[in-house]
Structure 1
Protein backbone atom coordinates (compact mmCIF):
# COMPACT_ATOMS: atom_id res chain seq x y z
CA UNK A 1 0.00 0.00 0.00
CA UNK A 2 2.83 2.39 0.82
CA UNK A 3 4.38 1.66 -2.57
CA UNK A 4 1.08 2.53 -4.27
CA UNK A 5 0.87 5.84 -2.42
CA UNK A 6 4.46 6.81 -3.27
CA UNK A 7 5.05 5.03 -6.56
CA UNK A 8 5.58 8.21 -8.56
CA UNK A 9 8.56 9.39 -6.50
CA UNK A 10 11.97 9.10 -8.17
CA UNK A 11 14.36 7.06 -6.06
CA UNK A 12 17.68 8.78 -5.42
CA UNK A 13 16.63 11.98 -7.19
CA UNK A 14 19.32 14.65 -7.19
CA UNK A 15 22.43 12.45 -7.01
CA UNK A 16 24.58 14.22 -9.58
CA UNK A 17 21.67 15.65 -11.56
CA UNK A 18 21.87 18.61 -13.94
CA UNK A 19 21.24 20.88 -10.98
CA UNK A 20 24.37 19.69 -9.24
CA UNK A 21 24.81 17.25 -6.39
CA UNK A 22 22.00 17.45 -3.85
CA UNK A 23 22.30 14.29 -1.74
CA UNK A 24 25.61 12.40 -1.95
CA UNK A 25 28.90 12.53 -3.80
CA UNK A 26 31.66 9.90 -3.95
CA UNK A 27 35.30 10.59 -3.24
CA UNK A 28 36.54 10.19 -6.82
CA UNK A 29 33.98 12.65 -8.19
CA UNK A 30 34.75 15.17 -5.48
CA UNK A 31 38.48 14.87 -6.15
CA UNK A 32 37.85 15.64 -9.82
CA UNK A 33 36.09 18.88 -8.85
CA UNK A 34 38.01 19.86 -5.72
CA UNK A 35 39.75 22.76 -7.44
CA UNK A 36 36.67 24.14 -9.18
CA UNK A 37 36.16 27.82 -8.44
CA UNK A 38 32.50 27.46 -7.52
CA UNK A 39 32.81 24.43 -5.26
CA UNK A 40 33.27 24.69 -1.49
CA UNK A 41 34.10 21.85 0.89
CA UNK A 42 33.36 21.94 4.62
CA UNK A 43 34.84 19.76 7.35
CA UNK A 44 32.13 19.15 9.97
CA UNK A 45 33.91 16.71 12.26
CA UNK A 46 32.76 16.86 15.87
CA UNK A 47 32.43 14.77 19.00
CA UNK A 48 29.80 15.51 21.63
CA UNK A 49 32.10 14.39 24.46
CA UNK A 50 35.09 16.38 23.16
CA UNK A 51 33.94 19.56 21.47
CA UNK A 52 37.47 20.61 20.45
CA UNK A 53 38.07 17.33 18.61
CA UNK A 54 36.94 18.58 15.20
CA UNK A 55 39.30 21.55 15.19
CA UNK A 56 42.23 19.35 16.21
CA UNK A 57 41.42 16.77 13.54
CA UNK A 58 41.09 19.54 10.94
CA UNK A 59 44.48 21.01 11.91
CA UNK A 60 46.13 17.59 11.67
CA UNK A 61 44.76 16.92 8.21
CA UNK A 62 41.70 17.78 6.11
CA UNK A 63 40.55 17.54 2.51
CA UNK A 64 42.39 20.02 0.30
CA UNK A 65 40.50 23.31 0.14
CA UNK A 66 38.16 22.44 2.99
CA UNK A 67 36.95 25.04 5.48
CA UNK A 68 36.02 24.05 9.04
CA UNK A 69 32.60 24.57 10.61
CA UNK A 70 32.01 23.90 14.30
CA UNK A 71 28.75 22.24 15.30
CA UNK A 72 28.28 24.40 18.39
CA UNK A 73 29.54 27.75 17.12
CA UNK A 74 28.66 27.72 13.41
CA UNK A 75 25.84 25.20 12.94
CA UNK A 76 23.94 26.01 16.15
CA UNK A 77 22.94 29.05 18.19
CA UNK A 78 23.18 29.77 21.89
CA UNK A 79 21.52 27.42 24.36
CA UNK A 80 19.10 28.74 26.95
CA UNK A 81 18.60 25.51 28.87
CA UNK A 82 15.15 25.11 27.36
CA UNK A 83 15.76 25.13 23.61
CA UNK A 84 17.76 21.91 23.29
CA UNK A 85 21.46 21.17 23.01
CA UNK A 86 21.87 22.37 19.40
CA UNK A 87 19.33 25.09 18.62
CA UNK A 88 19.15 26.16 15.00
CA UNK A 89 21.49 29.00 14.06
CA UNK A 90 20.16 32.40 13.09
CA UNK A 91 19.67 32.12 9.29
CA UNK A 92 21.32 35.47 8.57
CA UNK A 93 24.32 34.65 10.76
CA UNK A 94 24.76 31.27 9.09
CA UNK A 95 24.46 32.82 5.61
CA UNK A 96 27.15 35.36 6.51
CA UNK A 97 29.46 32.66 7.83
CA UNK A 98 29.04 30.67 4.63
CA UNK A 99 29.55 33.76 2.47
CA UNK A 100 32.92 34.44 4.11
CA UNK A 101 33.96 30.97 2.98
CA UNK A 102 32.85 31.65 -0.57
CA UNK A 103 29.35 30.17 -0.71
CA UNK A 104 27.09 32.02 -3.13
CA UNK A 105 23.89 31.20 -5.00
CA UNK A 106 25.58 28.98 -7.60
CA UNK A 107 28.11 27.30 -5.30
CA UNK A 108 28.22 23.52 -5.03
CA UNK A 109 28.72 22.76 -1.34
CA UNK A 110 30.14 19.47 -0.06
CA UNK A 111 30.04 18.52 3.63
CA UNK A 112 32.02 15.70 5.23
CA UNK A 113 32.85 14.21 8.61
CA UNK A 114 34.16 10.97 10.08
CA UNK A 115 30.88 9.84 11.64
CA UNK A 116 28.98 8.34 8.74
CA UNK A 117 27.54 11.69 7.76
CA UNK A 118 25.89 12.39 11.12
CA UNK A 119 27.51 15.83 11.48
CA UNK A 120 27.76 16.61 7.76
CA UNK A 121 24.04 15.89 7.45
CA UNK A 122 23.37 18.85 9.73
CA UNK A 123 25.04 21.25 7.28
CA UNK A 124 23.25 19.53 4.38
CA UNK A 125 19.88 20.16 6.02
CA UNK A 126 20.73 23.71 7.13
CA UNK A 127 21.64 24.77 3.61
CA UNK A 128 18.41 23.31 2.25
CA UNK A 129 16.60 25.15 5.05
CA UNK A 130 18.16 28.32 3.63
CA UNK A 131 16.87 27.37 0.19
CA UNK A 132 20.23 26.24 -1.24
CA UNK A 133 19.84 22.90 -3.02
CA UNK A 134 23.36 22.43 -4.38
CA UNK A 135 24.68 20.69 -1.29
CA UNK A 136 25.79 17.09 -0.86
CA UNK A 137 27.48 14.88 1.72
CA UNK A 138 30.71 13.06 0.91
CA UNK A 139 29.59 9.45 1.07
CA UNK A 140 31.82 7.64 3.57
CA UNK A 141 33.52 10.83 4.71
CA UNK A 142 37.24 11.00 5.48
CA UNK A 143 37.58 7.21 5.49
CA UNK A 144 36.25 6.93 1.92
CA UNK A 145 38.58 9.72 0.81
CA UNK A 146 41.59 7.90 2.27
CA UNK A 147 40.46 4.52 0.89
CA UNK A 148 40.50 6.12 -2.55
CA UNK A 149 44.17 6.97 -2.02
CA UNK A 150 43.50 10.70 -1.85
CA UNK A 151 45.57 13.08 0.29
CA UNK A 152 44.85 15.21 3.32
CA UNK A 153 46.54 18.54 3.96
CA UNK A 154 47.11 20.92 6.85
CA UNK A 155 47.18 23.92 4.50
CA UNK A 156 44.41 26.43 5.16
CA UNK A 157 42.17 27.54 2.28
CA UNK A 158 42.29 31.12 1.08
CA UNK A 159 39.51 33.61 1.77
CA UNK A 160 37.12 34.36 -1.09
CA UNK A 161 33.95 35.98 0.21
CA UNK A 162 30.74 35.93 -1.84
CA UNK A 163 27.47 37.82 -1.69
CA UNK A 164 25.10 36.49 0.96
CA UNK A 165 22.70 33.74 -0.01
CA UNK A 166 19.20 35.20 -0.44
CA UNK A 167 17.27 34.07 2.60
CA UNK A 168 13.84 32.45 2.35
CA UNK A 169 10.90 34.20 3.94
CA UNK A 170 10.23 33.62 7.63
CA UNK A 171 7.17 31.63 6.58
CA UNK A 172 9.24 29.32 4.37
CA UNK A 173 11.85 28.84 7.09
CA UNK A 174 9.13 27.92 9.58
CA UNK A 175 7.48 25.54 7.12
CA UNK A 176 10.55 23.26 7.18
CA UNK A 177 10.35 22.67 10.93
CA UNK A 178 7.85 21.66 13.59
CA UNK A 179 8.02 23.07 17.11
CA UNK A 180 7.18 21.49 20.46
CA UNK A 181 3.79 23.21 21.00
CA UNK A 182 2.63 21.99 17.58
CA UNK A 183 3.64 18.43 18.42
CA UNK A 184 1.98 18.60 21.84
CA UNK A 185 -1.25 19.83 20.28
CA UNK A 186 -1.24 16.93 17.80
CA UNK A 187 -0.41 14.09 20.22
CA UNK A 188 -2.84 11.23 19.82
CA UNK A 189 -3.78 12.24 16.27
CA UNK A 190 -2.40 11.12 12.92
CA UNK A 191 -1.31 14.64 11.98
CA UNK A 192 2.38 13.79 12.37
CA UNK A 193 4.45 10.62 12.12
CA UNK A 194 7.33 11.17 14.53
CA UNK A 195 10.57 9.31 13.76
CA UNK A 196 13.26 9.16 16.47
CA UNK A 197 16.82 8.74 15.11
CA UNK A 198 18.45 7.72 18.41
CA UNK A 199 19.56 4.20 19.28
CA UNK A 200 16.88 1.76 20.41
CA UNK A 201 18.06 1.75 24.03
CA UNK A 202 17.79 5.53 24.40
CA UNK A 203 14.44 5.45 22.61
CA UNK A 204 13.22 2.99 25.25
CA UNK A 205 14.53 5.26 28.00
CA UNK A 206 17.52 3.05 28.84
CA UNK A 207 21.20 4.03 29.10
CA UNK A 208 20.45 7.75 28.81
CA UNK A 209 23.75 9.49 29.54
CA UNK A 210 23.34 12.73 27.57
CA UNK A 211 19.94 14.21 28.46
CA UNK A 212 18.48 14.53 31.99
CA UNK A 213 15.43 12.35 31.29
CA UNK A 214 15.13 9.13 29.31
CA UNK A 215 12.32 8.10 26.98
CA UNK A 216 10.70 9.28 23.77
CA UNK A 217 7.82 11.40 22.53
CA UNK A 218 4.55 9.44 22.82
CA UNK A 219 3.57 7.81 19.54
CA UNK A 220 7.03 8.12 17.97
CA UNK A 221 8.60 5.37 15.90
CA UNK A 222 12.28 4.48 16.13
CA UNK A 223 14.65 4.42 13.16
CA UNK A 224 18.25 4.56 14.33
CA UNK A 225 20.20 6.70 11.86
CA UNK A 226 22.97 4.09 11.75
CA UNK A 227 20.56 1.81 9.92
CA UNK A 228 21.01 4.02 6.86
CA UNK A 229 24.64 2.94 6.51
CA UNK A 230 26.63 -0.02 5.25
CA UNK A 231 29.32 -1.58 7.48
CA UNK A 232 31.86 0.58 5.59
CA UNK A 233 30.07 3.76 6.70
CA UNK A 234 28.60 4.69 3.34
CA UNK A 235 24.90 5.16 2.68
CA UNK A 236 23.07 2.05 1.61
CA UNK A 237 21.70 1.91 -1.96
CA UNK A 238 18.63 4.04 -2.60
CA UNK A 239 16.38 1.08 -3.32
CA UNK A 240 17.30 -0.58 -0.01
CA UNK A 241 16.70 2.62 1.90
CA UNK A 242 13.37 3.06 0.16
CA UNK A 243 12.16 -0.44 1.06
CA UNK A 244 13.14 -0.07 4.70
CA UNK A 245 11.73 3.43 5.06
CA UNK A 246 8.46 2.41 3.45
CA UNK A 247 8.19 -0.28 6.13
CA UNK A 248 8.87 2.31 8.83
CA UNK A 249 6.31 4.74 7.41
CA UNK A 250 3.71 2.00 6.85
CA UNK A 251 1.64 4.02 4.39
CA UNK A 252 2.23 7.46 5.93
CA UNK A 253 3.26 10.01 3.27
CA UNK A 254 6.66 11.68 3.83
CA UNK A 255 5.00 15.09 4.16
CA UNK A 256 3.53 13.97 7.50
CA UNK A 257 6.89 12.81 8.85
CA UNK A 258 8.68 14.78 11.56
CA UNK A 259 12.23 13.62 12.33
CA UNK A 260 13.88 14.20 15.69
CA UNK A 261 16.76 12.80 17.74
CA UNK A 262 18.62 13.98 20.83
CA UNK A 263 19.36 17.52 19.67
CA UNK A 264 18.38 17.88 16.01
CA UNK A 265 21.64 16.62 14.49
CA UNK A 266 21.34 12.89 13.68
CA UNK A 267 17.70 13.50 12.71
CA UNK A 268 19.11 15.28 9.64
CA UNK A 269 20.79 11.99 8.70
CA UNK A 270 17.35 10.37 8.50
CA UNK A 271 16.08 13.32 6.46
CA UNK A 272 18.98 12.83 4.04
CA UNK A 273 18.25 9.08 3.82
CA UNK A 274 14.62 9.83 3.03
CA UNK A 275 15.73 12.19 0.27
CA UNK A 276 18.09 9.58 -1.18
CA UNK A 277 15.23 7.07 -1.10
CA UNK A 278 13.01 9.44 -3.08
CA UNK A 279 10.76 10.10 -0.09
CA UNK A 280 11.15 13.86 0.21
CA UNK A 281 9.00 16.25 2.22
CA UNK A 282 9.68 15.31 5.85
CA UNK A 283 10.35 18.03 8.42
CA UNK A 284 12.65 18.48 11.41
CA UNK A 285 11.81 19.03 15.07
CA UNK A 286 14.96 21.06 15.86
CA UNK A 287 14.75 21.02 19.66
CA UNK A 288 14.31 17.24 19.64
CA UNK A 289 14.48 15.19 22.84
CA UNK A 290 16.85 17.58 24.64
CA UNK A 291 14.19 20.29 24.41
CA UNK A 292 11.18 18.01 24.82
CA UNK A 293 12.34 16.61 28.17
CA UNK A 294 12.69 20.07 29.75
CA UNK A 295 9.90 22.29 30.96
CA UNK A 296 8.56 24.68 28.35
CA UNK A 297 8.97 28.43 28.52
CA UNK A 298 5.21 28.68 28.95
CA UNK A 299 5.52 27.33 32.50
CA UNK A 300 3.41 24.27 31.76
CA UNK A 301 4.30 20.90 33.29
CA UNK A 302 6.87 18.75 31.58
CA UNK A 303 5.73 17.42 28.24
CA UNK A 304 4.49 13.81 28.18
CA UNK A 305 7.11 11.07 27.99
CA UNK A 306 6.82 7.45 26.86
CA UNK A 307 9.18 4.58 27.70
Structure 2
Protein backbone atom coordinates (compact mmCIF):
# COMPACT_ATOMS: atom_id res chain seq x y z
CA UNK A 1 0.00 0.00 0.00
CA UNK A 2 1.32 3.41 -0.93
CA UNK A 3 0.19 6.34 1.22
CA UNK A 4 3.11 8.61 0.37
CA UNK A 5 3.85 11.16 -2.35
CA UNK A 6 7.35 12.55 -2.87
CA UNK A 7 8.09 16.22 -3.47
CA UNK A 8 8.98 15.62 -7.12
CA UNK A 9 5.50 14.22 -7.79
CA UNK A 10 4.04 17.16 -5.89
CA UNK A 11 6.01 19.67 -7.96
CA UNK A 12 4.76 18.10 -11.21
CA UNK A 13 1.17 18.27 -9.95
CA UNK A 14 1.28 21.63 -8.17
CA UNK A 15 -1.16 23.17 -10.67
CA UNK A 16 -3.29 20.08 -11.18
CA UNK A 17 -6.92 21.07 -10.51
CA UNK A 18 -7.68 17.49 -9.44
CA UNK A 19 -5.16 17.76 -6.59
CA UNK A 20 -5.76 19.53 -3.30
CA UNK A 21 -2.87 20.29 -0.92
CA UNK A 22 -3.45 20.54 2.83
CA UNK A 23 -1.05 22.38 5.17
CA UNK A 24 -1.18 20.80 8.65
CA UNK A 25 1.75 22.53 10.35
CA UNK A 26 1.22 22.77 14.09
CA UNK A 27 3.04 23.14 17.40
CA UNK A 28 1.66 21.76 20.67
CA UNK A 29 3.70 24.38 22.53
CA UNK A 30 2.45 27.25 20.31
CA UNK A 31 -0.97 26.28 18.88
CA UNK A 32 -1.17 29.25 16.50
CA UNK A 33 2.38 28.90 15.16
CA UNK A 34 1.36 26.67 12.25
CA UNK A 35 -1.35 29.02 10.99
CA UNK A 36 1.03 31.98 11.35
CA UNK A 37 3.67 30.16 9.30
CA UNK A 38 1.02 29.33 6.71
CA UNK A 39 0.15 33.02 6.37
CA UNK A 40 3.85 33.79 5.69
CA UNK A 41 4.30 31.12 3.04
CA UNK A 42 3.09 27.69 1.99
CA UNK A 43 2.93 25.41 -1.03
CA UNK A 44 0.98 27.02 -3.89
CA UNK A 45 -2.70 26.15 -3.63
CA UNK A 46 -2.44 24.76 -0.10
CA UNK A 47 -5.34 25.11 2.35
CA UNK A 48 -4.63 25.25 6.09
CA UNK A 49 -6.19 22.79 8.54
CA UNK A 50 -5.59 23.44 12.26
CA UNK A 51 -5.11 20.39 14.51
CA UNK A 52 -7.27 21.70 17.34
CA UNK A 53 -9.83 23.75 15.37
CA UNK A 54 -10.31 21.56 12.29
CA UNK A 55 -9.04 18.06 13.08
CA UNK A 56 -10.38 17.86 16.64
CA UNK A 57 -13.44 18.85 18.62
CA UNK A 58 -13.24 20.90 21.85
CA UNK A 59 -11.83 19.03 24.83
CA UNK A 60 -14.39 17.66 27.30
CA UNK A 61 -14.21 15.26 30.26
CA UNK A 62 -13.70 12.20 28.04
CA UNK A 63 -12.31 11.82 24.53
CA UNK A 64 -8.72 12.85 25.19
CA UNK A 65 -6.79 15.99 24.31
CA UNK A 66 -7.68 15.88 20.60
CA UNK A 67 -11.13 14.28 20.34
CA UNK A 68 -12.77 13.28 17.08
CA UNK A 69 -14.32 16.33 15.40
CA UNK A 70 -17.99 16.30 14.43
CA UNK A 71 -18.12 14.55 11.08
CA UNK A 72 -20.60 17.03 9.59
CA UNK A 73 -18.39 19.99 10.52
CA UNK A 74 -15.24 18.33 9.16
CA UNK A 75 -17.00 17.39 5.92
CA UNK A 76 -18.12 21.02 5.55
CA UNK A 77 -14.51 22.17 5.83
CA UNK A 78 -13.42 19.61 3.24
CA UNK A 79 -16.10 20.84 0.86
CA UNK A 80 -15.07 24.46 1.45
CA UNK A 81 -11.55 23.43 0.41
CA UNK A 82 -13.01 22.15 -2.86
CA UNK A 83 -12.54 18.49 -2.02
CA UNK A 84 -14.80 16.06 -3.88
CA UNK A 85 -15.06 12.28 -3.95
CA UNK A 86 -12.41 12.05 -6.68
CA UNK A 87 -9.98 14.73 -5.48
CA UNK A 88 -6.39 13.61 -4.91
CA UNK A 89 -5.44 15.05 -1.52
CA UNK A 90 -1.87 15.48 -0.25
CA UNK A 91 -1.20 16.64 3.33
CA UNK A 92 2.03 18.00 4.75
CA UNK A 93 3.33 19.37 8.04
CA UNK A 94 6.69 20.84 8.98
CA UNK A 95 8.32 17.47 8.36
CA UNK A 96 7.64 15.59 11.59
CA UNK A 97 4.95 13.55 9.85
CA UNK A 98 2.41 13.20 12.67
CA UNK A 99 0.10 16.16 11.97
CA UNK A 100 -0.19 15.38 8.26
CA UNK A 101 -0.78 11.75 9.21
CA UNK A 102 -3.67 12.77 11.47
CA UNK A 103 -5.35 14.49 8.48
CA UNK A 104 -4.59 11.44 6.31
CA UNK A 105 -6.27 9.13 8.84
CA UNK A 106 -9.31 11.41 9.17
CA UNK A 107 -9.90 11.41 5.42
CA UNK A 108 -9.29 7.67 5.14
CA UNK A 109 -11.74 7.10 8.02
CA UNK A 110 -14.35 9.00 5.99
CA UNK A 111 -13.79 6.58 3.12
CA UNK A 112 -11.59 8.79 0.92
CA UNK A 113 -8.69 6.57 -0.11
CA UNK A 114 -7.06 8.97 -2.57
CA UNK A 115 -5.21 10.82 0.21
CA UNK A 116 -1.47 10.91 0.84
CA UNK A 117 1.24 12.35 3.08
CA UNK A 118 3.99 14.46 1.50
CA UNK A 119 7.37 12.95 2.31
CA UNK A 120 9.78 15.34 4.00
CA UNK A 121 6.97 17.84 4.56
CA UNK A 122 7.48 21.58 4.33
CA UNK A 123 11.10 21.27 5.44
CA UNK A 124 11.96 18.99 2.51
CA UNK A 125 10.09 21.26 0.08
CA UNK A 126 11.95 24.32 1.40
CA UNK A 127 15.34 22.62 1.18
CA UNK A 128 14.64 21.79 -2.47
CA UNK A 129 13.96 25.48 -3.20
CA UNK A 130 10.58 24.60 -4.64
CA UNK A 131 7.96 27.37 -5.08
CA UNK A 132 6.17 28.97 -2.14
CA UNK A 133 3.47 31.62 -1.89
CA UNK A 134 1.61 33.68 0.71
CA UNK A 135 -1.54 33.72 -1.41
CA UNK A 136 -4.53 32.08 0.28
CA UNK A 137 -6.52 30.17 -2.36
CA UNK A 138 -10.27 29.82 -2.67
CA UNK A 139 -12.12 27.02 -4.42
CA UNK A 140 -15.60 26.25 -5.63
CA UNK A 141 -17.45 24.25 -2.99
CA UNK A 142 -16.96 20.53 -3.32
CA UNK A 143 -19.39 17.71 -2.68
CA UNK A 144 -18.10 15.11 -0.23
CA UNK A 145 -20.17 12.11 0.87
CA UNK A 146 -18.52 10.21 3.74
CA UNK A 147 -18.48 6.44 3.92
CA UNK A 148 -17.23 5.67 7.41
CA UNK A 149 -14.62 2.92 7.87
CA UNK A 150 -15.71 1.90 11.36
CA UNK A 151 -13.08 -0.86 11.33
CA UNK A 152 -10.35 1.82 11.49
CA UNK A 153 -11.43 3.18 14.88
CA UNK A 154 -11.18 1.50 18.29
CA UNK A 155 -13.46 2.71 21.09
CA UNK A 156 -12.47 2.92 24.73
CA UNK A 157 -14.84 -0.01 25.37
CA UNK A 158 -12.89 -2.15 22.89
CA UNK A 159 -9.62 -1.25 24.57
CA UNK A 160 -11.08 -2.02 28.00
CA UNK A 161 -12.14 -5.47 26.74
CA UNK A 162 -8.60 -6.12 25.48
CA UNK A 163 -7.13 -5.10 28.83
CA UNK A 164 -9.58 -7.27 30.78
CA UNK A 165 -9.51 -10.36 28.56
CA UNK A 166 -5.97 -10.21 27.12
CA UNK A 167 -6.82 -12.03 23.86
CA UNK A 168 -3.83 -13.51 22.03
CA UNK A 169 -4.95 -12.15 18.67
CA UNK A 170 -5.25 -8.44 19.57
CA UNK A 171 -2.14 -6.36 20.23
CA UNK A 172 -2.07 -2.91 21.85
CA UNK A 173 0.78 -0.66 20.72
CA UNK A 174 1.82 2.44 22.67
CA UNK A 175 3.42 4.78 20.13
CA UNK A 176 5.02 7.24 22.57
CA UNK A 177 8.70 7.42 23.45
CA UNK A 178 9.93 4.80 25.93
CA UNK A 179 10.26 7.08 28.97
CA UNK A 180 6.61 8.08 28.71
CA UNK A 181 5.55 4.47 28.11
CA UNK A 182 7.44 3.39 31.23
CA UNK A 183 6.06 6.28 33.28
CA UNK A 184 9.53 7.66 33.97
CA UNK A 185 8.57 11.04 32.56
CA UNK A 186 5.17 12.52 31.63
CA UNK A 187 5.32 16.10 30.36
CA UNK A 188 1.72 16.42 29.17
CA UNK A 189 -0.84 14.11 30.74
CA UNK A 190 -1.97 14.04 34.37
CA UNK A 191 -0.93 10.44 34.98
CA UNK A 192 2.14 8.49 33.91
CA UNK A 193 2.53 4.96 32.55
CA UNK A 194 0.72 3.02 29.87
CA UNK A 195 -2.41 0.99 29.19
CA UNK A 196 -1.94 -2.46 30.76
CA UNK A 197 -0.66 -5.07 28.33
CA UNK A 198 0.48 -2.60 25.67
CA UNK A 199 3.87 -3.00 24.01
CA UNK A 200 6.02 -0.02 23.04
CA UNK A 201 6.85 0.88 19.44
CA UNK A 202 7.85 4.59 19.33
CA UNK A 203 6.28 6.20 16.27
CA UNK A 204 9.36 8.16 15.20
CA UNK A 205 11.38 4.96 14.69
CA UNK A 206 9.38 4.39 11.50
CA UNK A 207 10.68 7.60 9.91
CA UNK A 208 14.03 9.18 9.19
CA UNK A 209 14.20 12.97 8.73
CA UNK A 210 10.51 13.08 7.86
CA UNK A 211 10.74 10.24 5.34
CA UNK A 212 9.04 6.90 5.94
CA UNK A 213 11.38 3.94 5.98
CA UNK A 214 10.90 1.13 3.46
CA UNK A 215 8.31 -1.64 3.83
CA UNK A 216 11.15 -4.09 4.54
CA UNK A 217 12.40 -1.90 7.41
CA UNK A 218 8.87 -1.54 8.77
CA UNK A 219 8.43 -5.33 8.77
CA UNK A 220 11.65 -5.57 10.77
CA UNK A 221 10.26 -3.06 13.31
CA UNK A 222 7.18 -5.22 13.83
CA UNK A 223 8.87 -8.61 13.50
CA UNK A 224 7.56 -9.71 16.91
CA UNK A 225 3.88 -9.25 15.95
CA UNK A 226 1.88 -11.75 13.89
CA UNK A 227 0.48 -9.89 10.85
CA UNK A 228 -2.74 -11.90 11.26
CA UNK A 229 -3.38 -10.22 14.61
CA UNK A 230 -5.56 -7.17 15.02
CA UNK A 231 -3.45 -4.21 16.15
CA UNK A 232 -4.72 -1.19 18.07
CA UNK A 233 -2.37 1.80 18.14
CA UNK A 234 -2.50 4.70 20.58
CA UNK A 235 -0.32 7.56 21.79
CA UNK A 236 -1.08 10.53 24.03
CA UNK A 237 -3.96 12.04 22.07
CA UNK A 238 -4.40 10.18 18.78
CA UNK A 239 -1.89 12.14 16.69
CA UNK A 240 1.55 10.50 16.84
CA UNK A 241 -0.01 7.02 16.78
CA UNK A 242 -1.03 7.55 13.15
CA UNK A 243 2.50 7.26 11.69
CA UNK A 244 2.56 3.82 13.35
CA UNK A 245 -0.83 3.11 11.76
CA UNK A 246 0.69 3.96 8.37
CA UNK A 247 3.86 1.95 8.91
CA UNK A 248 1.89 -1.10 10.07
CA UNK A 249 -0.11 -0.89 6.84
CA UNK A 250 3.18 -0.57 4.94
CA UNK A 251 4.42 -3.71 6.71
CA UNK A 252 1.37 -5.66 5.53
CA UNK A 253 -0.88 -5.62 8.59
CA UNK A 254 -4.48 -5.61 7.28
CA UNK A 255 -6.29 -5.14 10.61
CA UNK A 256 -5.12 -1.91 12.25
CA UNK A 257 -7.23 0.39 14.42
CA UNK A 258 -6.57 3.77 16.02
CA UNK A 259 -7.68 4.39 19.61
CA UNK A 260 -8.18 8.05 18.87
CA UNK A 261 -8.73 9.18 22.46
CA UNK A 262 -5.52 7.37 23.39
CA UNK A 263 -3.83 7.60 26.80
CA UNK A 264 -5.33 11.01 27.62
CA UNK A 265 -8.81 9.51 27.19
CA UNK A 266 -7.90 6.29 29.03
CA UNK A 267 -6.84 8.13 32.18
CA UNK A 268 -10.04 10.22 32.17
CA UNK A 269 -11.83 7.11 33.52
CA UNK A 270 -10.90 6.76 37.18
CA UNK A 271 -11.55 3.01 37.13
CA UNK A 272 -9.05 2.34 34.33
CA UNK A 273 -5.81 0.78 35.48
CA UNK A 274 -2.37 2.05 34.45
CA UNK A 275 0.79 0.01 34.19
TM-score by structure 1 length?
0.85
Specify the SS of the correspondent of 2:39: helix
Q: Which deviations, in whole Å up to 9, do the C-alpha atoms of 1:130-188 show, x marking residues without a partner?
A: 0000000000101111222202211111222111x2122xxx54332111122212223
| Match among 209, 213, 221 for residue 236 of structure 1 | 213
Report the CA distance between 1:53 and its aligned residue.
0.8
Distance 2:19 2:105 in 1: 18
Distance 1:119 1:126 in 2: 11
Tell whether the 8 Å contact from 1:193 to 1:252 is kept in structure 2 after alignment.
no
Specify the SS of the correspondent of 2:90: strand
Tell whether the 8 Å contact from 1:229 to 1:235 is kept in structure 2 after alignment.
yes
Q: 1 or 2, which has the higher strand percentage?
A: 2
Distance 1:137 1:52 in 2: 22
| Match among 229, 240, 254 for residue 266 of structure 1 | 240
Report the CA distance between 1:262 and its aligned residue.
0.2
Partner of 1:166: 145
Aligned residues: CA RMSD: 1.4
Report the CA distance between 1:97 and its aligned residue.
0.5
Matches within 5 A, 1:20-39: 23-39=3-19
Report the CA distance between 1:83 and its aligned residue.
1.4
Tell whether the 8 Å contact from 2:227 to 2:252 is kept in structure 1 after alignment.
no
Distance 1:89 1:236 in 2: 30
Distance 1:197 1:110 in 2: 24
Specify the SS of the correspondent of 2:89: strand
Q: 1:191 to 1:279 in 2, by over 3 A?
A: closer
Q: Which runs of 4+ in 1 moved over 4 A?
A: none
1:66 and 2:43 correspond: no
Tell whether the 8 Å contact from 1:197 to 1:270 is kept in structure 2 after alignment.
yes
Partner of 1:279: 253
Partner of 1:200: 178
Specify the SS of the correspondent of 1:119: helix
Matches within 5 A, 1:175-194: 175-187=151-163, 188-194=166-172
Specify the SS of the correspondent of 2:124: helix
Distance 2:180 2:198 in 1: 13
Tell whether the 8 Å contact from 1:85 to 1:287 is kept in structure 2 after alignment.
yes
Distance 1:253 1:26 in 2: 30
Unaligned runs of 5+ in 1: 1-12, 16-22, 296-300
Distance 2:48 2:81 in 1: 9
